[in-house]
Structure 1
Amino acid sequence: MGIKFGEKLRKARIDSQLTQSQLGAGKYSTSYISLLETGSREPTQEIIDELSARLGMDRETMDSWNTPVSRDEAEYVLLEHRARQSFTAREYADAEATATEAAHIALRLKNSSAWWNMMFLRAESLRDQGKLQDCRDTALEITTHPLTGESVALTVRAETLLGNAYLGQGKLHLAVEHALNAVENGRALPPDSMIYISALFVLIASLAESGQLEAAWEHCAALGAAVADGAPRQTAGNAYWAIGNVAFKRQDIAAGLEYHQLASERLLPASDLELWARFNKASASMRLSAGVIDPGTLACIEKAELAMSIIDEDRGNDLDLVLIRARWLHLNGKPDQSLERIESVSGRSAEMSSLQLGEIQLLTARCLVSLGRGDEAMGHLTRAQQTFATAGAPNRASLAIELATELRASIR
């Protein structure tokens, strides 16, 4: 299936000092040249005629590269196809295992392009399983591979992946460093390149998480420009979602609402129901944190609840979503109903993160204060402060202390 052809094509291209984009210019996309070089596409006679002419070589020589495949080559192609199918279906454990096996075969074949692509897919699968240390180790191996340095696009993809791994681990200074490397290199690509856009996503998230909100907002402008004309709906929706998040964190509520509305118009349930659910859940949480309790916020909650119940009945009681609904009820003057929601998940503490436990204690205390049960609330505030401190969330711990101080003063 063209694996030997692909490796020889890559070598001839590099010897001619051409990028994939330059070799395919005007006729074949960069991604199609990449598929040829990894053996994922068979070259037709027309392609051989065209590429041999562009590389200034004899057509018969290039034609001879397209020899029958070996058993290893055939196995690689089958494994690559299965790994990509599993990843698309969000079966990440199978995608990881299959991509790893395909990468081993690529090593035996001495096909560095095929190895690179499968190791990248392995790292993405590890990331989406939450195996962030393994993802980081794989991303480092990819980033330092000689093939990465031969291509701007591969450099940007590798640095983006590494930045994403560090972001997931909470190592924000390293996440920013590698994401910034990715964006700086990515400026050599077309401004609407998906590779460049992906780098911007990770940089913006890393800057925002590290509190560098003004720097994040500056890069939001570049992201907005990149998706303004002709970007796929889902890509544009994700971009406006990310920009809106930064706006909310900057306390620019009007801009946050505007960009989340733009995202809502582009992220459709028919395209990706799980993504639609995640967006509506996250948007509702952002809006509530900003004190926005209008019908639009309720609509986000209801959409997320509906989507979760369709995806999986057991996920209809998603912990974050239950807490969001409880927050909505409290802010709308229904503390008793809010406490009922919290009580419905009280037996699931083993499933909760420290942050979730802290938020539940904090919200419980607020509801109890609203109901005139300040003495009971004090114990929940103390537990919230301790839980947030253990979770490494000093700002939330300080909020619990502040509310406890105010409550003591009012009781006196």
Structure 2
Amino acid sequence: MGRIFGNRLRAERLSRGLTQEQLGGPECSHSYVSLLERGVREPSMEILGGLARRLGLPPGELEQWALQPTVQDQEYSLAALHAWCAWDVGDYESAASHALVAAQFARESRKDATVCEMNLLRAECLTRLGRHEQGRNLVNLLLANTLTSGNAGLRSEAHQLSARMSLAEQSFRGAAAQAQEGLTQGAVLGEDSTVRLSALHLVIRALLSEGHKEAAWRHCELASDDVVPERAPAHLRGRLAWVVGDVAFARGQAKRGIERHERAVGLLRPQVDLKEWAAFNLSSARARLEAGVADDATLACLDRAGSAQDILGQDDPGTGNPGIGGEPQRELRLLRAWWLHAQGRDSEALDQLAPFEERSQRMDRLSSEAAFLGGRILLGLGAPDDALARLALAQEGFFRLRNLRGAQGVADLILDISRTRYANPSPALAHCAAS
């Protein structure tokens, strides 16, 4: 039946405020309804009958959608198809442009649910492009729309999108509030609803980012394997395992964090989102290293992240650090150096850090961390002067970033060097050190 049937099915479902779970009923799962709406599955006559009953339509009407499309349906479907295809390949500029055209055609044919769907896609694209003000304006229009007032799923998705924009802007309090509202709206949906589970994931992530570890941990109880049903999408369960592991690491429960991250490895799908797969493995490796765990599993995380980055071909010449590459590649290099240092392979670790030595106009987070690690390694190799030079750069970077914890760590190490160097100084040298 194709894309035209799928678009019409989704529009009718949204206009009635039904979730995919509710529309699917006992005949098919929400994931199968999603495939129907994307036009990649052909429903049987039995399934068509069940869908028609839950939509309140005559049994044969769904067949007619594919056989007798209107001109407006064809125009909308073509524009929407271009939008989704562009979205699938990561061309968010084109996706937003085609979604705007599709929304205009849908508005002309008075399909309010379809207008909302395309505007939601546009807002998502604008968020991916970093144009948060435009995206937030669209979200506000969606929330003010009378259709979304009675559609918990749409309202939850809109609040979640607003939360993701706030997270990108590091406005963690606003992100937590929007994510919580999204979870409240999604509470009426099924326990395996992707909308509700996505909102739960965002709430935990936002609370952890804001520093509320215990509040985040309380929400983690709702994301346990005992609560989240197995029929929920595997990739979404993987995201939940990832964020629960992050909270466990933050609370000092390394064993629990490792167990959850290992669970995420088996659930997250690189083919669903390769960039997210790379980010997860980098995040997991960092959490392990910060917890003092530098084992083969940590190296495996780094190798998986490296393989994903090779496929993505990420290269950001605007980093100010030629030869290092984009930020994910720079972080991978830093974490490899950290792992090598933990293995006692300090010469190899310094080789990994060598590209960071070329000082940029401004010390960023990774450059500061690399300088700090390099200072610790050089100190262990018996080169205190070189270590102090690196540590001075690290301290400068941490202060600029307002990372007081990092700056304090550098200061403590510099103080240890000073105490060792001036343990038995001459009176004159002692006076200089005191000054």
Relative to the length of structure 2, the TM-score reads 0.80
Corresponding residue for 1:357? 367
Structure 1 38/151 Cα, relative in aligned 2: closer, same or farther at 3 Å? farther
Identify the residue that residue 110 of structure 1 maps to in structure 2.
110
Task: Give the aligned partner of residue 154 of structure 1.
Answer: 154
Query: What's the CA shift string for 1:107-127, capped at 9, x where partnerless?
Result: 333322111111111222223
Q: How far 1:31 sits from its partner (Å)?
A: 8.1
Give the match for residue 425 of structure 2: none
Query: 2:75 maps to what in 1?
Result: 75
**Among 396, 420, 429, the residue aligned to 1:386:** 396
Could you say which residue in structure 1 is the equivalent of 2:202? 202
Cα drift, residue 252 of structure 1: 0.4
Q: Are positions 1:343 and 2:354 aligned together?
A: yes
* Distance (Å, rounded) in 1 between the aligned partners of 2:88 and 2:56: 39
- Could you tell me how far 1:214 is from its partner in structure 2? 0.9
CA contact (8 A) 2:28 2:47 kept: no
* Counterpart check, 1:144 vs 2:144: yes
Q: Distance in 2 between matches of 1:292 and 1:8?
A: 50
> In structure 2, what is the Cα distance between the partners aligned to 1:40 and 1:119?
23
State the match for 1:368 in structure 2.
378
Matched pairs, number: 407
CA displacement at 1:368 relative to structure 2: 1.6
- 2:198 touches 2:236 (CA, 8 Å); kept in 1? no
Deviation at 1:224, TM superposition (A): 2.0
The offset of 1:213, in angstroms, is 0.6
User: Unpaired runs of 5+ in structure 1?
Assistant: none
After superposition, the Cα gap between the structure-2 partners of 1:246 and 1:110, relative to the gap in structure 1 and judged at 3 Å, is: same
- SS across alignment from 1:344: helix
Counterpart secondary structure, 2:211: coil
1:406 aligns with 2:416: yes
1:329-340 counterparts in 2 under 5 A? Answer: 329-340=340-351
Q: Which runs of 5+ in 2 are unaligned?
A: 317-323, 423-435
Residue in 2 aligned with 1:292? 293
1:323 corresponds to which residue?
334
Give 1:27 deviation, angstroms: 4.9
What's the CA shift for 1:193? Answer: 0.9
By how many angstroms is 1:281 displaced?
Answer: 1.9
* Aligned 8 A contact 1:6 1:38 in 2: no
Aligned pair in 2 of structure 1 residues 210, 312: CA closer, same or farther (>3 Å)? Answer: same
For 1:319, the aligned partner's letter is R
1:253-305 CA-partner distances (Å, limit 9, x unpaired): 01011111111222355665444333222211111111101121122222222
Residue number in structure 2 paired with 1:259: 260
The equivalent of 2:184 in structure 1 is 184
For residues 24-81 of structure 1, what are the alpha-carbon distances to aligned partners after superposition, in whole Å with 9 as ceiling and x for unaligned? Answer: 64457678889999999999998897777667788899999996422x4422211211
Question: In 2, are the aligned partners of 1:382 and 1:401 still within 8 Å (CA)?
Answer: no
Distance 1:77 1:229 in 2: 34
Provide the C-alpha distance between the structure 2 equivalents of 1:19 and 1:236, rounded to a whole number of angstroms: 19
The share of aligned pairs that are identical, in percent, is 32
The 5 Å alignment of 1:197-276 reads 197-225=197-225, 226-267=227-268, 269=270, 273-276=274-277
- In structure 2, distance between residues paired with 1:5 and 1:329: 56
Question: Contact conserved, 2:21 with 2:193, CA < 8 A, in 1?
Answer: no
- Structure 1 range deviating more: 212-221 or 33-42: 33-42
Q: What CA distance in whole angstroms lies between the structure 2 residues aligned with 1:63 and 1:234? A: 33
CA contact (8 A) 1:5 1:39 kept: no
The residue aligned with 2:321 is none
**Comparing 139-148 and 181-190, the one that deviates more:** 139-148
Question: Which amino acid counterpart does residue 371 of structure 1 have in structure 2?
Answer: L
Residues 164 and 175 in structure 2, CA contact (< 8 A), matched pair in contact too: yes
**Paired residue type of 2:105:** I
